[in-house]
């Protein structure tokens, strides 16, 4: 489970894989939050359903999700 001290880009927004310390495939700015994606497949998945993952990010920022894992 993520601690409150971890940034929003410590885990891939799509699959939940750890990508801290500059790891991962890319970082995206969504609003004023920087998020990470771990690989090209997660980038394609994100681009295929941006609204879903933006909603996930909002839920995480509001404390509605207490884990990096996301059930589709």
pLDDT at residue 68 is higher than 60: no
Q: Are 38 and 25 in contact (CB under 8 A)?
A: yes
pLDDT tens-place string over residues 10-50? 888 898 888 877 778 898 888 888 888 999 999 999 999 99
Residue 15 CA to residue 59 CA, distance in Å, equals: 16
- Those residues with Cβ within 8 angstroms of residue 17's Cβ, 6 or more apart along the chain or in another chain: 11, 24, 38
Mean pLDDT, residues 41-67: 85
Residue 17 CA to residue 54 CA, distance in Å, equals: 17
Sign of the C-alpha dihedral computed for residues 48, 54, 60 and 63 taken in this order: negative
pLDDT at residue 71 is higher than 60: no
pLDDT band with cut points at 50, 70 and 90 for residue 51:
very high
> Domain extents for the chain?
7-64
């Amino acid at each position: 489970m993520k601690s409150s001290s971890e940034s929003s880009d410590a885990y891939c927004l799509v699959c939940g894989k750890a990508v801290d310390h500059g790891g991962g495939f890319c970082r995206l700015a969504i609003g004023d939050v920087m998020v990470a994606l771990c690989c090209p497949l997660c980038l394609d998945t994100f681009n295929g359903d941006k609204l879903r993952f933006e909603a996930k990010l909002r839920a995480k920022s509001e404390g509605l999700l207490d884990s990096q894992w996301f059930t589709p």
